[in-house]
């Protein structure tokens, strides 16, 4: 089996130094739009430690784990973990730093020195919850994409009938995916990528980046999310699918999702459903910083029931 790495972009939003740096560039309208620069986009409750612990436990075949940061270090005690600074992956584009939008950072995620051809992209709030094998991500010479097809016509209709409040721009996942589809030649449907680990090929991203300088510039032209940005993995999966090298796998079978809710019964109900989901092997948890203390304790307790005690500095 070929080597497979894991890549995790990470930011500790509790770091006053980084917060001060971000404050130099952001304006109030961007902060007011949660999808652009809302505080919850950067806050951390230590998700990275659970993410890495889950990879080490459930995917011990992973070659290296690269954590991509802006001058930070989560101080994880594992010889498999390497910290990669933004200045390294943005070599030749240092004038764009600092940058705080995920699309811009993902544009150069492939530029990690010594990154394997095959790698799996994680966010720090993605957690494996059971044993996985390389074939769950790379199978028969194809990449496995966790997602569902979505009508572009329906997307545009929804944007018309459900405008953002207070004149805010739409800068969400679907918007960036549609922009990515357009870079891949367009079409009547796009892949609505799940909040899931994503198997990728380094060579494809290197070639695409080098052959689409205008697209690269689009993702780097603003410090924060902008409606013109494109989701970098969308054209990859579209191209792989059209080339017969991608397996589209519906997200509901293998993925779990958690987002804090004000209903006091929500977390208990969710955790019970996770135990019943026998095929699911990954979980995405958004905005854990917004959870009620008792819900966060219950959620992390459930995670540790799978992982064992998680070491945190």
The mean pLDDT of 200-222, rounded to a whole number, is: 97
Query: Which residues contact residue 130 at a Cβ distance below 8 angstroms, ignoring those fewer than 6 apart?
Result: 58, 280, 281, 306
| Residue corresponding to tokens 């404050």 | 23
Beta bridge mates, 81: 65
Q: What is the pLDDT of residues 82-98, one digit of tens each?
A: 999 999 999 999 999 99
- Percent of the residues in the chain that have a pLDDT greater than 70, as a whole number: 93
**Can you list the domains of the chain with their CATH numbers?**
4-307 (3.90.550)
- Distance, in Å, from the CA atom of 256 to the CA atom of 270, rounded to the nearest integer, reads 9
pLDDT in tens, 232-290: 999 999 999 999 999 999 988 899 999 999 999 999 999 999 999 999 999 999 999 99
- CA distances (Å), origin 267, targets 50, 111, 300: 18, 39, 11
Cα–Cα–Cα angle for 179, 180, 186, rounded to 5 degrees: 80
For residue range 4-41, list pLDDT tens digits in order: 999 999 999 888 888 888 888 877 665 555 555 455 55
Angstrom distance (rounded) from CA 16 to CA 72: 12
Enter the tokens of residue 47: 């998700």
In terms of Cβ atoms closer than 10 Å to its own Cβ (0-12, 13-18, 19+), residue 292 is middle
The whole model's pTM is what? Answer: 0.94
**CB–CB of 24/154 below 8 Å?**
no
């Amino acid at each position: 089996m070929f080597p497979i790495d894991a890549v995790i972009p990470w930011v500790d939003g509790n770091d006053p130094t980084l917060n001060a740096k971000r404050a130099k560039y952001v304006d109030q309208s961007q902060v007011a739009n949660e999808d652009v620069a809302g505080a919850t986009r950067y806050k951390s409750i230590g998700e990275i430690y659970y993410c890495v612990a889950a990879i080490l436990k459930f995917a011990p075949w992973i070659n290296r784990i690269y954590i991509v940061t802006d001058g930070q270090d989560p101080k994880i005690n594992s010889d498999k973990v390497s910290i990669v600074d933004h200045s390294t992956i943005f070599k030749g584009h240092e004038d764009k730093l600092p940058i705080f939008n995920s699309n811009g950072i993902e544009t150069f995620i492939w530029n990690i020195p010594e990154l394997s051809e095959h790698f799996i992209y994680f966010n720090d709030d993605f957690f494996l919850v059971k044993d996985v094998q390389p074939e769950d991500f790379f199978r028969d010479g194809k990449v496995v994409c966790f997602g569902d097809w979505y009508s572009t016509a329906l997307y545009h209709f929804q944007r018309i009938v459900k405008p953002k409040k207070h004149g805010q721009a739409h800068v969400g996942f679907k918007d960036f995916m549609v922009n990515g589809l357009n870079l891949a030649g367009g079409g009547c449907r796009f892949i609505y990528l799940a909040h899931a680990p994503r198997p990728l090929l380094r060579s494809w991203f290197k070639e695409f980046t080098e052959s689409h300088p205008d697209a690269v510039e689009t993702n780097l032209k603003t410090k924060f999310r902008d409606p013109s940005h494109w989701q970098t993995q969308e054209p990859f999966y579209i191209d792989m699918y059209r080339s017969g090298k991608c397996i589209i796998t519906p997200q509901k079978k293998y993925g779990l999702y958690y987002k804090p809710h004000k209903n006091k019964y929500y977390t208990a109900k969710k955790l019970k459903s996770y135990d019943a989901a026998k095929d699911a092997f990954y979980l995405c948890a958004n905005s854990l910083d917004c959870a009620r203390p008792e819900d966060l304790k219950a959620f992390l307790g459930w995670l540790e029931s799978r992982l064992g005690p998680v070491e945190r500095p």
